[in-house]
Chain A
Amino acid sequence: MSFLDIHDLGARYGSLRVLDGIDLSVEQGEVVSLIGPSGSGKSTLLKVITGLMKPDRGRVTLAGAAVDYSNRKSLKAARDRLAIVFQQYNLFGNMTVLRNVTVAPTTIKKRNRRQVEEKARELLDRVGLGDKLHVYPDQLSGGQQQRVAIARALCLEPEILLLDEVTSALDPERVSEVLDTIRLLAKDNIAMLIVSHEMSFVRDVSHRIAFMADGRVQEIGSPEQIFDNPQTDRTRDFVGRISRVGH
């Protein structure tokens, strides 16, 4: 069985059905990207996976264990294995960069403080922020904040990393620095589920790409299949429109 396995997942906001039977899987160490029109439910899917929103049908299995989202223990166990980086960085405003990265591993996961700090420094170095350890988030640019958020997620040592449009709030010149960071990580053996509108990046970094529309995965396949030889009209439409806009 896959590392992350999603079967027939459904969710809604009130009467608005957003996810309508999602089937998706991510293998260990695999990078899967989600693309699709705005409002197709990509963020919602990540919210459901991370337990920020309750599904109303279907099943999520993580590392072989079915996640029961109304059971606190089960949810906690699932969250222990994953990390997410949000579109809007969500760094804690009351903590320094270093503390943002170390707070969960030390205080929540009770790992050894010295080792965590060492690892945090190394990660922040890798994302190019080794000189900003004791600065507060609002003293950083958007791109820098996003890189801290990525370091924070990685310091949790997750088995799977979820990224939700991590570049969409950034100026164009900041996008590449964040994408480069992720590319670097993609070489490490960590599973990733990436939501992105950066088609060239997605194509470059993903093992498989899933096209989502109307609350379902319409097509999933290799980057070559999705971009050069889409099997469904909707995917062809979407990819065609996106590349004409010049992404």
Chain B
Amino acid sequence: MHYTLHFGQVTPEIPYLLWGALISLELSVMAFAGGMVIGMVGAIMRLRGGRWLSRLARWYVTFFTNTPQLVQIYFIFFALPEVGILLDPFPAVLLGMTLNAGGYLTEILRAGLASVHQQELDAAETLGMSHLQTLRYVILPHIFKVVMPAMTNQYILMTLGTSMAAIFGVEELTGRAFNINSTTFRSIEIFLLTGGIYVLVTLAATSLLALVGRYAFRARVRIL
């Protein structure tokens, strides 16, 4: 078996791929932000929502964490048009990823919120802190310390998950790799290179999030 890697045909495409990576990044950041909104609402519903709201949030989590994100997006992209909801690839993928992330982030944030103990709040009160100060200096740092590792992990998984967008024709990093693959047939080189870009992107993301955690919330996150 002899095969020589030839990156010559592929290297000129690196800028094209990197612009694609930017679209992946956009997708992951937007979906993560949306997922955080769902997650916060969901976590509060789980903990303070009373019987039915809390149940509703639990069902949401159970459904989205027990079915594949890919099929959720299939449903949005191929099934919803039958009931008159027609979405372009990018918004369809974004919606699917957001709803999916909402499920996982609800669980992560719920665990974070649940870990705030009454004693700490009492302690803050005896120190004479206002409600806002308590939130800023006690509750939020505490929650973020607890959830930072899981959130970082979730964000990395989502960054990798954006590659599914290629299946629906979004020309992000993986979509562009598919494009190059179908014109040059240097498959091994292309997918090695693309994989390498994902490694770098996720490494950068972890390091950045670790720095944010360390300086903003004094939380420690393992980079590797």
The answer to whether A and B touch in the complex, with CB atoms under 8 Å apart, is no
| Residue positions of A touching B, CB distance < 8 A | none
